[in-house]
Structure 1
Amino acid sequence: MATNGPGARVRAARQAKGVGLRALAGLIGVSPATLSQIENGRTGLSVARLDDIADALHTTAARILAGADLPAAGCTEKDAGTGWRAYGPLDLDPVLAAALAEFLEVGYHGATVRDIAARAGLSVSGMYHYHASKQRMLVGILDHTMTDLLARARAARAEGRDPVERFALLVENLALFHTHRRELGFVGASEMRGLEAADRDRIARLRTAQQRLVDHEVEQAVAEGRFRADHPHEAARAVVTMCTALPTWWRPGGPSGPERIARQYVGFALDLMAPPDGRRS
């Protein structure tokens, strides 16, 4: 197995971004087994596939091959300001940023390529150098959304010491994401119907992966007698839906900021999951 070849560098870049193997495989349209073979150097890595991987990880092929996206030695994600609770400006290319704004204003079906190009300050032909169609713009936005959300979810869960704590961290992450990134959450919730079948199914699988992270911790907490045993999966879905609905009403500048909302929602979620005697620990 090659330890410093391009496949190993892909694996290092994926792990540095906090993206799971299955999630990345779904984003680039290959099986997890195929991606594992690539990362282990058992299957060749074409230039086109490397470009697909770079796009999914929101970096470039050159940076992957150079190892430029890895944190400096001794520097943690939190030290670098990239912990799962940290949110900087939304990092989208100019066309996706314009498309997102247009979808928010008039909806996917109401948006035109010409209006997106004008918002981005580009000609229509110039815009096509970024994305081949309005459909690919929507796919790009939703891919970015789910890649970021799942990477943060896995980082949040990793900090938990037991299933109840991991559940609470996952809920906190969902609430923080759907307030700090409310525009992405709103488009993700309202425009899935605009996707063509293959991409809609792929994005749906990523959403299911997010739900299963929560479900797993709920199942473990139920097994330990710390969460209610009646309809736990339905309750877990209600918790996730409660968080993903935040973009429909929360606005920045209101009385409750993202961190306060997240604390409140963790409390709501724990109260919902508590067994009849109220004992969670």
Structure 2
Amino acid sequence: MSSLDEPESATPAPPTETKDWRHFTPLELSPILEVALAQMVARGYEGTTVRTIAREVGVTVPALYYHFANKQAILTDLLDRAMAIVTGHVEAALASTGPDPVHRLGAFVEAIVLYACHHSDIAFLDSERRSLTTENLAHYVAQRDSLEQRLRETIDRGCATGVFTTSDPEMCGRAILAMCQGVAGWYRTEGPNTPEEVAQSFVRIALGVVGHVDRRPRLTSGSGPRR
């Protein structure tokens, strides 16, 4: 946990863990944000009160307001941090691949699913975007749309080169992003699959969604080397 001595920064520091984009370090949150996240995941935004957060942290309500103007500010801060983490990993994943749309789609999906598995609590807060004010929702949607646009660029390129055959790239992009983000709602570390196994399964599913055509030459019967 971070210290309560100083007020929270209005803008989360950018993540520094994306050199190896498949590696996720534990979240570093202040006591207020850590408790608020746990409460919102367990009770939802509406069911979480500032008074409960303050009591769990061990501070007075006025002391909590020294760090955050209100509960909405806490949710906005958490969602900004969530977007900074997932965007950082996605961009690092894409930067590690070449121009091939199949590889880029795989990297994009893998990065988001690994994020949803390793940081399932903060990733789950995407479902609380409905609780944002109009202004804060517009800010969050703009970040989410930017991430979706990166996915659309990859799908569009795949369609242009003939490796993806979908007739509706926009709908495919939305479906893939929603599918990946939904992992946070059901993935459990004690379950039968590792984050890596889930990610690889979702890569295969995503390739099916866009109608991936494998154009690599295949050996036909009797075409192998003769002895």
Please state which band the TM-score falls in when normalised by the shorter chain: 0.7 to 0.9
| Amino acid in structure 2 at the alignment position of 1:86 | H
Deviation (angstroms), 1:260: 0.8
- Residue 177 in structure 1 maps to residue 115 in structure 2: yes
> Of 10, 25, 41, which residue of structure 2 is paired with 1:88?
25
Cα pair 1:142 1:184 within 8 Å, conserved: yes
Cα pair 1:274 1:280 within 8 Å, conserved: no
| Structure 1 partner of 2:177 | 240
Runs of 4+ in 1 over 3 A off after TM superposition: none
Deviation (angstroms), 1:58: 5.3
| Structure 1 partner of 2:37 | 100
| Alignment gaps of 5+ in structure 1 | 1-50, 60-68, 70-76
Rate the CA distance shift 1:280–1:270 in 2: closer, same or farther, 3 A: farther
Q: Which is higher, the Rg of structure 1 or of structure 2?
A: 2
Counterparts of 1:223 and 1:121, CA distance in 2: 57
- Residue 218 in structure 1 maps to residue 155 in structure 2: yes
| Structure 1 partner of 2:195 | 258
- Residue 206 in structure 1 maps to residue 143 in structure 2: yes
| Structure 2 partner of 1:56 | 12
Deviation (angstroms), 1:83: 2.2
| Alignment gaps of 5+ in structure 2 | 1-8, 217-227
Deviation (angstroms), 1:258: 0.8
Cα pair 2:14 2:84 within 8 Å, conserved: no
Rate the CA distance shift 1:142–1:280 in 2: closer, same or farther, 3 A: farther
Rate the CA distance shift 1:195–1:224 in 2: closer, same or farther, 3 A: same
Which structure would you say has the larger RCO, counting Cα contacts within 8 Å and 6 or more residues apart? 2
- Residue 159 in structure 1 maps to residue 115 in structure 2: no
Deviation (angstroms), 1:121: 2.1
Deviation (angstroms), 1:279: 2.4
Other structure's SS at 2:189 match? coil
CA offsets 1:87-130 (integer angstroms, 9 cap, x no match): 12111111111111111111111111110011222221222222
Rate the CA distance shift 1:280–1:125 in 2: closer, same or farther, 3 A: farther
Rate the CA distance shift 1:145–1:125 in 2: closer, same or farther, 3 A: same
Compute the TM-score of the two structures, normalised by the length of structure 1: 0.69
Compute the TM-score of the two structures, normalised by the length of structure 2: 0.85
